[in-house]
Amino acid sequence: MKNIAIDGPAGAGKSTAAKIVAKKLGILYLDTGAMYRAIGLKALKLGINTRDIPAVEAMLPTTSVEIKYVDDVQNIFLDGENVTGLIREHAVSMAASDVSAIPAVRLKLVELQREIAKKNDCILDGRDIGTYVLPDANYKFFITATAEERANRRFKELMEKGQNVSYDEVLTDIVTRDRNDSTRAFAPLKKADDAFEFDTTTMSIDQVVEELLNRIK
């Protein structure tokens, strides 16, 4: 199977570009962040503190996360409920980052990610795909952009969805998540030694897609 790994911090343009690349190559796109968001959402729903490791761990045996593709679009199911829209709420971002630092959460989700990657040609985006989930991926990318530009992009997305959040809140969230995600002990956000890195701050999505496709060919 052919696997392409795209890692990088929130808002670097990974998911938008990966979706287009997947379509052009006729392969699957797997958004691994959605899985961490689903677990974060469940903790929020249950009123569990997302930094309380034993409480989050205790919730895992009775938590199911499934991915289903509807017309080539990834849908995510939490305990049988389609939560694809709910996981994009602003509050869920930080909850996802918190629970993603817990090794038991990662082990559960990484198993599912590897299973999907084994069965399908696919492009996966996340934080640890090239370093931990699929160290033997055929192509590895690490994409970045300044925190301000990433916050701009996220802010625009959230505004389009009608969410009530300020630019400053989004920037604080991005900076805090960068720190959380890159300093956790287990499988942190990190460039794989053999990944190709580029900065998308001044690039359009079309240019990011072109850069990826040029290297994949």
Question: Please, which residue, 13 or 26, has the CB nearer to ligand DC?
Answer: 13
Instruction: Decide: helix, strand or coil at residue 135.
Output: coil
Among candidates 58, 60, 103, which has minimal Cα distance to 78?
A: 60
Q: Smallest distance from the beta carbon of 156 to ligand DC, in angstroms?
A: 15
- Exposure string over 87-122, b if 16+ CB within 10 A, otherwise e: bebeebbbbbbbbbbbeebbebbbeebeebbeeeeb
Question: Please, which residue, 37 or 153, has the CB nearer to ligand DC?
Answer: 37
Q: How many residues does the chain have?
A: 217
Question: Please, which residue, 93 or 198, has the CB nearer to ligand DC?
Answer: 93
Q: Smallest distance from the beta carbon of 2 to ligand DC, in angstroms?
A: 19
Q: Smallest distance from the beta carbon of 111 to ligand DC, in angstroms?
A: 13
C-alpha span between 12 and 151 (Å, rounded): 9
Question: Please, which residue, 181 or 217, has the CB nearer to ligand DC?
Answer: 181
Question: Please, which residue, 108 or 127, has the CB nearer to ligand DC?
Answer: 127
C-alpha span between 56 and 40 (Å, rounded): 9
189: which DSSP letter? S
Written as six digits, the tokens of 173 are 């969230």
Q: Smallest distance from the beta carbon of 166 to ligand DC, in angstroms?
A: 19
Q: Smallest distance from the beta carbon of 124 to ligand DC, in angstroms?
A: 8
Q: What are phi and psi of 137, to 5 degrees?
A: -55, 150
Q: Smallest distance from the beta carbon of 98 to ligand DC, in angstroms?
A: 9
Residues engaged in binding ligand DC (CB under 6 A) = 10, 32-33, 36-37, 93, 96-97, 100, 126-128, 177, 181
Question: Please, which residue, 84 or 93, has the CB nearer to ligand DC?
Answer: 93
Among candidates 167, 122, 160, 142, which has minimal Cα distance to 31?
A: 122
Do residues 107 and 56 make contact, with C-beta atoms less than 8 angstroms apart? no
